[in-house]
Amino acid sequence: MRLGVKVDLKKQYKETEINGKKSTKKAFTSTKKAFTLDISFEMGNELVVLFGPSGSGKTTLFKCISGLTEPDDGKITVESKVYYDKNQKINLPIQKRNLGYVFQNYTLFPHMNVRKNIECGLKGWEKEDKEVRVAEMLDLLHIEELETRYPSQLSGGQKQRVALARALAPKPGILLLDEPFSALDMAIRTRLAEKIKNLQNKIGIPLLFITHNFEEAYLLADRILILYEGNVQQFGTPEEILYHPENRHVADLTGLSNIFDEAKVERCDEESKNIILKSGDMRIKVKSQNLKLGDKVSWGIHPENITLLLPDSGPENHDENVYSAHVNSIISKGPRKRITLKLVRQNKTLIAEVPAQFVDSMKLCAGGLCLVKLETSKVVAFRSL
Amino acid sequence: MISMLDKIWFPLSLTLRVAAISSILVLCSGVAIAYVFARRDFRGKGLAELFVTLPLVLPPTVIGYILVILVGRNGFLGQIIFNALGTGIMFTWQAAVIAAYTVSLPLMVHTAKAAIEGVDREIEYAAYILGKSELETAMQITIPLAKKGILAGLILSFARAIGEFGATLMLAGNIPGKTNTMSISIYSAFQAGNNELANLLVLILVFMSLLTIALTGRFVGKLEV
């Protein structure tokens, strides 16, 4: 039984503290929020993505785990190592925590070549062991040919791979990645994300990953931890987060549009987990584990998950969430089209995103009619705040 | 002619020796002080910074006077030195080093502090996380990355030490063949009406200053990492 990572901490958090330098303009930046970071979670050898808006405390959490800042209260353990324990007055120095940290700006040492950078964390190793380990890291990240180069001679993607190699060389107990890809362009981002996913399987240590990009989170994560104003909103698999958000914050963060508030659970079938919501004049069937009769809920659907059918493909069928709709407008977004739909009888506007090819073959055009199907398993419902 | 060469050679070598030793001391202590000022917070830091900066703005006679009080036979430091060496330090070339050190230290501290503050803190954090202590990080990462500014500070300090006059005169005096640095020799040559010597010394000093400026520009410019 592995011990994994246990984090349970509280910290007064001020956004004015930027890059370790206290802002002296505090009086002029009164819009900046101060709140308490109150986070508790456990993880094993998995990749957990921390996801939340800026200022939700993601980086502060990383600073607490790495020892760059001290929490006010709580306990942090990684495997059998106690990093921090308020009760036992333990606050392990940064140097002794044995963790890997990859910063957004790479933070490679500019006056050392790639080899020297990677060797930096191998203090006290025998010379031969050092050489073997550096070679392993160069091989693991496919950067053998960069060995003697200096950081200024590397591209962004190469720098980030070197930073990863450097962080992993001392065999850390946990790897923290603070928006490692945000300075890279999209193509390299995706490739590196796949790389990280593969690495995770090879190195078998807990990985914590901060990102602002939900697609990236979805692609990488075994589980996603949603943070909002210093609190954990939800901790679950990408599927759970996407289709069963706990609340509005989570739904907003996953990019759910088409959200309708003021709906109510009208019927609840325990066996099939089918739930009927009444939302204004509209009845809609959803699948949900934790809603009860009479609950006030919001519901919504991702634009990509709306199915369009030809108007002559059948009648409206409210049991299957099929409604007839007017096409208000069609906007091209390259390979996809964004369609604004108005449900005829339910007086609701939906936005759908469908492949352009599909719109063309249906001969859909603004002003026309069609049928809209909201797949039961794709409709998202959550309790209103 | 030989006596003329002697009259130039001694002040020149003495000045270079005083400036070199003072600069080495300024380099070691100045960088350490600059690091502490740039990276640490402690009570009385503002006061300490003010204290180090003071020689930059004080009149040289005032600096000289304070130094005489400190390192003179009855001064706090003077007594320690006397007990250790069995002789006073006033009116020796070592006193000239003390004067030069005092006036050039602030130049080093200020330039080096700015350079150290310019080093990305996250790079230092990365070093800590990789297991390097603060001292190791300072020696292997921060100071090497701030070397441009530190070198600039060193050159400025050296130039300032070469030109030092007021405090040196009060602390080391004007003893021919012992404490007559370039600046002091120019002053006494001028006083004695020996314009020939004064002109030569001035020419050398101007040439040395030009060299320093050129070095600063070239050296510091070339040291891009």
Reported as a single tens digit per residue, the pLDDT across A138-185 is: 999 999 999 999 999 999 999 999 999 999 999 999 999 999 888 788
DSSP strand pairing (A47-51 vs A296-300): unpaired
Q: Is B129 on the interface with A (CB under 8 A)?
A: yes
**Chain-chain contact of A170 with B121 (C-beta, under 8 angstroms):** no
Q: Is A123 on the interface with B (CB under 8 A)?
A: yes
Q: Give mean pLDDT, residues A327-335.
A: 90
- Of B128, B131, B225, which is closest to A170 when you measure between CB atoms? B131
CA distance A200 to B163: 63
For residues B88, B92, B97, B103, the Cα torsion angle rounded to the nearest 10 degrees is 80
CA distance A138 to B46: 47
CA atoms within 13 A on the CB side of A182: 14
Residue B135: list chain A partners with CB under 8 A.
none
CA distance A234 to A39: 11
Q: Is B223 on the interface with A (CB under 8 A)?
A: no
Q: Is B63 on the interface with A (CB under 8 A)?
A: no
> What is the average pLDDT score of chain A?
87
Residue A134, pLDDT above cutoff 60: yes
CA distance A57 to A13: 8
Distance from CA of B118 to the nearest CA of A (A): 12
pLDDT of A20 reads: 43
**Chain-chain contact of A68 with B130 (C-beta, under 8 angstroms):** no
Q: Is A125 on the interface with B (CB under 8 A)?
A: no
Q: Give mean pLDDT, residues A331-351.
A: 89
Q: Which residue has the higher pLDDT, A270 or A242?
A: A242
- Number of inter-chain CB pairs under 8 A, A vs B: 56
Residue A1, pLDDT above cutoff 50: no
Least confident residue range of A208-217, B46-55, B93-102, B206-215: B206-215
Q: What is the pTM of this model?
A: 0.85
**Chain-chain contact of B132 with A19 (C-beta, under 8 angstroms):** no
pLDDT of A366 reads: 87
Residue A24, pLDDT above cutoff 50: no
ipTM: 0.83
Residues β-bridged to residue B143? none
For B225, name the nearest residue in chain A, comparing CA atoms only.
A111
Residue A26, pLDDT above cutoff 50: no
**Which 8-state DSSP code applies to residue A310?**
-
- Cite the beta strand spans of A188-281 per DSSP E: 207-211, 223-228, 231-236, 259-268, 274-279
